Amino acid sequence: MSDNQKKNPMTKKAAAEIQSATAKSGGDTGKGSWPARAQSAAAKNENAQKAAQENQGDQQDKGSSTKD
């Protein structure tokens, strides 16, 4: 993975713009197309971000617990 991919992950908004522009120009938006791959990448990035946030919250919960 390149540094650019790490710094600029695909977002749902960007994927939607790609799909919209491609559809308006009569391009392919079906399975395996660039817009479909962009949408898939955006979904994976969102899921990874949510998982990371949940993991971070779990770690904070463990660190802040006190024993009685």
Q: Binning pLDDT at 50, 70 and 90, where does residue 1 land?
A: low
> Closest Cα partner for 52 from 13, 9, 15, 12?
9
Q: At what angle do helices 12-24 and 34-64 cross, to 10 degrees?
A: 170
Share the mean pLDDT of the chain: 86
Measured distance between the N- and C-terminal CA atoms of the chain, rounded to whole angstroms: 47
Does residue 23 have a pLDDT over 90?
Answer: yes
Is the pTM of the predicted complex or chain greater than 0.75? no
Q: Is the pLDDT of residue 65 over 70?
A: no
The pLDDT value recorded for residue 6 is: 64
Written as one letter, the residue type at 66 is T
pLDDT band at 4 (very low <50, low <70, confident <90, very high): low
